[in-house]
Amino acid sequence: MHNKKAQVTIFIIVAIIIVAGVLIFFALNSNIVNPFSPGAEKIKTVVEDCIQSTGEEVVYQVTEGGGYYLESESSTESGVPYYYLNNERHMPSKEEIEEEINFWVSETLFFCTKNFIDFPEYEIYQGEIKVRSEILNEEVKLRVTYPLTIVKGEDSSTIKKFKDTLIESRLGITYDAIKEFIEESQEAICLSCLLEIVEKNDLSVNMADYDETTVIFFFRNELNEESPTFIFANKYHLEDE
């Protein structure tokens, strides 16, 4: 009899541990506290869609801007960033471009969410938006933390994080190709190097003279005609005083 009671007790303890473990697992892996609160899932979906569209717009703009969302401090009068100027390299690091993406996604996301005016039936309290991007070869990954507390009557939910967003982009491949070209063309354009680099990376390149010493480069992804063009300028010699 005592053995049976002991076995039953052990089974109950094991069952409690399993249930507790499952609850803890879902609690740690869920981005929504009290996920059954009305509106939480709908608002979460809207924000994730906005992260996708905003991220795509920012990555496009940053690519067209040669790694910058707005005009860089070192650029031509037409706003094209210099990557090589007066015998010095000015090409931004990949980490600097990621920071540019982070900042502008967090700054412009509200244009898409419209401060949640489409959800007047809810009180939505918003925390600080934090974005961490990672430039990969053929995509840019965004991880967004955006605390939201959604209240309707006595029901409330808190969303802290959203699923990772993947943006189709060959920004990483293009960046690495341009970096290789810059390293091979310190004092003058190495045409053979340039042709080899773009060919092995499925890129195309056009060049245009900006002035007597400055050349503007247009790198484009040959695998997708709708891809943005990565634009930058090199000045190879000091202008005569």
The pLDDT assigned to 161 comes to 85
Return the closest-CA partner of residue 90 out of 107, 74, 106, 105. 74
Residue 192 to residue 176: CA distance in whole angstroms: 17
Q: What is the pLDDT of residues 3-48, one digit of tens each?
A: 544 554 555 554 555 545 544 444 444 455 454 465 788 899 999 9
CB-CB contact of 59 with 171 (8 Å): yes
Tokens of 21: 């473990």
In a domain, 35, yes or no: yes
In a domain, 79, yes or no: no
In a domain, 239, yes or no: no
In a domain, 4, yes or no: no
In a domain, 144, yes or no: yes
Query: Which long-range contacts does 84-87 make (Cβ < 8 Å, 24+ apart)?
Result: 84/182, 84/185, 84/186, 84/234, 84/235, 84/236, 85/234, 85/235, 86/235, 86/238, 87/186, 87/187, 87/238
The pLDDT assigned to 25 comes to 46
For the chain, give the secondary structure using H, E and C. Answer: CHHHHHHHHHHHHHHHHHHHHHHHHHHHHCCEECCCCCCHHHHHHHHHHHHHHHHHHHHHHHHHCCCCCCCCCCECCCCCEEEEECCEECCCCHHHHHHHHHHHHHHHHHHHHHHHCCCCCCEEEECCCEEEEEECCCEEEEEEEEEEEEEECCEEEEEEECCCEEEECCHHHHHHHHHHHHHHCCCCCCHHHHHHHHHHCCEEEEEEECCCCEEEEEEEECCCCCCCCEEEEEECCCCCC
The pLDDT assigned to 37 comes to 61
Range of the structural domain that residue 134 is part of:
31-70+94-168
In a domain, 89, yes or no: no
Residue 147 to residue 170: CA distance in whole angstroms: 30
In a domain, 210, yes or no: no
Q: What is the pLDDT of residues 49-67, one digit of tens each?
A: 999 999 999 999 999 999 9
pLDDT beneath 70: ranges in the chain:
1-38, 237-241
In a domain, 155, yes or no: yes
Residue 11 to residue 21: CA distance in whole angstroms: 15
Residue 131 to residue 123: CA distance in whole angstroms: 24
The pLDDT assigned to 156 comes to 85
Strand partners for 126: 148
Q: How many separate domains does the chain show?
A: 1
Residue 155 to residue 226: CA distance in whole angstroms: 45
- Is the pTM for the entire model greater than 0.75? yes
